[in-house]
Structure 1
Amino acid sequence: MRADFLHSSVGWKRMHRRREGIVGPRLVFPAGEVPEIPAARLASTANEREPLLFWVHTGRAELQISGRTRSVAAGAAIWVPAGIAYSIRVDPGAVAFPIPLPAADLPPALNRVIDFEIPADWQDWLVHQFAHNLGFLRGETAAGAGLIELVAGVHSDGDDNSPSYSPPRLPRSAETLEIARTLLRTPSDDTELSRFAQQLKIGVRTLQRRFTEETGLSFVRWRTSARIAAATSYLAAGREIGWTGSQVGFATPAGFTRAFREHTGMTPTDYASANRRPTPPREDETLAQGVALLSEEGARSGSAPAPPTIPASGTWARVNDFHVVVWIYRGSARVTFGDRTWNLRRGDAMWLPAGVRNSVEIAEGSLLLPLGSQPGASPVTAPPPRVLHFAREAQAYLLHTVVANYTHLRPEIHDPARIARLIRSAAAVPLPSGDQADPVETILAALRKNPADSRTLPDWSARLGVDEDMLLKDFVAATGQSFPRWRGQLRMTLARAYLEEGLAAGETARRLGYAHASGFTKVFIAAHGMSPRDYQRRGWRGTVEGLIDP
C-alpha cells in the first residue's frame, strides 16, 4: 500500500498538502510551559590555537583558571589566551557563551587573562560571532577592531608617557574595516587600494568613497596616518629612528621624517626625546602597535566603541544527511527548501528534513541559529518542512539549547535532540505503513554512501525494476529537483565538507567521481563563485578548537 501510494506523484502531493493543512505557525511552549534552564559545566580544557572570550548573557557563572575561581555576572566577560587551561560552571537559569576568536585578527599583545564588561549593544554581535564559529554560514567573519579595542582599551595602564599622537578614525563598513585591520597589524603593507578592491570583489571608487566618508581621510592619507601612529609607539618604546621608519613602511629616512613632521609637528628625534619611556622595551611591544592604536582610539572617544553592523549572510545551498531545526533569534530570513520559499520573522522556527536542497538568506542585522538536528537521509519518510513559533519568553532557554547542543558547555544530563523531536512531532502526520522499500529512498542512500556512483536514473530504473517515468516524477516530488541536479548539489555539499577538512581539490574530485580535478574545479566555481582553494581560505569560517561540536 505505502509503496504504491508514494510511487504516484499525485498521491504524494495530495498527502503533502494534507500534512501541511494547519494554517499559520503553531506556538511552541505556550505561556508557563518553557522548561527551566539547568546548570551546565565544561571540564578543564585549553584552546590550542584560538583565544577564548567567555561571556555571560544572563545569570552567573564561574570560570576557574590558574588556580583561581572568577565569578562572572551577566554582561561580564573574560578573555583567555590560547594555551591556558580553564574550566567553567554555569548556574541554573543562566546562559553563557564560550566564543573562540580567529587568532589571525588579534594582536599578539592580548596575551593575558582580562576581565571586562560587554556593552549591551555588543551582545548581538557576539551571538553572530558564535554562530559563525559553528561553520554553517558562508564566508569569514572577523573579531572586529572594535572588540579588540574593547578588550585592550579597558585595561590600558594610563601611563602619562604614552604616545600623544591620535591615530586615524577607524572605518565602520565591513570591507574598509578589514583593510584597516590589515594595515594596523602590518603598517608596512604597501598593497594598493586596487588590489584590496580585487580581493574583496568591490569597486575601487566605492572603497575610496567609503574611506573618505567614514574616516574623513583618503585611503592614502589614512594609511600614512596609521603608519605615523605606529611609529610613535615604536619611538616611545625606545626603538631607533631608522629602524622605526623602515618598520612602518617608509622607503627612505627623509620620507619618514617629512611625513612625521607633517603629522605631529615635530621630527622623529624630538618626539622620541619627549616621549621615550624610562624602561627598556619589551619584546611584545614591537608587535603591539595595533592594540596601541585601537586602545587610544577608544580612550579618545571617551566611550565604548560601537559594534560592527551584523552583515547579511546565509548558507551555501546544501543537501543535508540530517533533519535540522533553525530559529530566527533576531530580524528575519528567507528559507528555500526544494522549489518553495518561506519568509521567517523573529521567533519563528522551521523544521528542514534531510535529503532536499535547502538554503537560507539572512537579512542584515539578523541572527539565525540552529536549535538541533536528528539523523536521517530521506525526505520520503520525514515530515515536510513546517514553520512554528516560539514566544519571547523562550529565548533564554533556546539560547541555552544552542550552546549545549553545539559546544561542550552543557548540563551533565543533556538530550541534544529534545527540541528537534518536539518540533518534528508538532509537524508530523503519520505516513502510510508498509514493508516495501521506497525506490527514491534506495537511490538517496546509495548516493550518500558513494557520491562517485555514476549510474543514471534510467540505470536505477532498470536496477530497481520500476517504471522510469514514474521514478522520475517521484524523485522530483520527493527532492524538489531532477536527479542530475540533486546529485550535483549533493556532491557540492560534500565537496565543501572535504575542503573544510583540508583535503586537496584533486582528492576531493576523486572522492566525488569527477574524472579530472579541472572538471571539478570548474563546477565548484560555477556553484560558489570561487575556486576550491579560495573556499578553503575565505569561503567559510569554523573554529579550529575542540570546544565546538562539529
Structure 2
Amino acid sequence: MGFSSPENGGHALDLSTKDTCGLPVFGVAVRYPAGHIVPLHKHAYGHLIYANHGLLRVEAESGQWLVPPTAAVWLRSGVAHRLVAPVALQACGLFVREDVCPRLPERDCVVHVSGLLRELIMALAQADHTTIPSKRIHLLGELLVEELHTQPALPLHLPWPTGDAGNPVQHVCQALLDNPGDSATAVEWADRLAMGDKTFHRRFLQSTGMTFGKWRQQLRLMSSLTLLMQGIPITQVALASGYDSHSAYSTAFSKQFGRPPSVFAANL
C-alpha cells in the first residue's frame, strides 16, 4: 500500500528495493486493524488495491470505493488516495510501471477478481524482492496484466462531489457517509441549506453526476457491505442502512450487485 502495518508504527514502507528491482509489477502485503486509516498519499505507479479478507474503503478526489474480497480497486499513477479499514483486514497492493499502465483501465475503477487474478495478486505481493527477480516473477507480472485487462468493472464506485470545500453538496454527502440511515429527504436538505428544491437537485447532479436518490441508495448499499461482513442479521442491516424492511433492502441489493445479501453474506 505504500505504508507499513500499524505494528510497525504506520510509517511509509521503504520501497527503494522494490523500486530498483526492474519489475513491471511488484507488490506488498499489509495487515490493518478495524478503524485504521492510511493518510492521503500517491504513487508514481499504477496501483491495484486488494483486500483478501475484510472490507477496504478507498477514497480519492474522483470518488470512493468499497472493496470486498471479490474485487480490487485500480488507480492510475499519481492519483492521491486514502485508505480506511472499517473492519480488520489483510490487504495487498500491487504497483505497475507507467510504461505498462496503457494496457490497463484508463479510469480509476473497481474490477472483479477472478480466482486466477487473486492467486497472481497474492503471489506477487508476497514475493521476495531482496534477491534478483526470477523469470517466474516476471511472467507472473505479465500474466497479471493480461488477466486484469479482461476483468469487468463493478458498480462499487461512489462519486464524490467536485468543487472546493465550500460546496454544500460535499457537506450533505459527508453527513450521509457518516450516517447512511439518515432519512432526510432532498426537500429537507434543501431547506437546511436555504436553497430551493430544484436548485438542490441541480447542484447535486452537477457535483456528483448522479441524482440525490440514486447517490444515497448507492451509499447505503455500499455501506451495508461492512455490516454484512460483521455478521449482523440482514434485517438489522436493512434498518441501519435506511430501508424500511428486509425485502426492500434485498430487492435493492440484488438489483445493484446481482445477488441477494443472504448469498453475499454466505460467501464471506
TM-score range, shorter chain: 0.3 to 0.5
TM-score by length of 1: 0.25
TM-score, with normalisation over the residues of structure 2?
Answer: 0.47
- Please identify the structure whose Cα radius of gyration is greater: 1
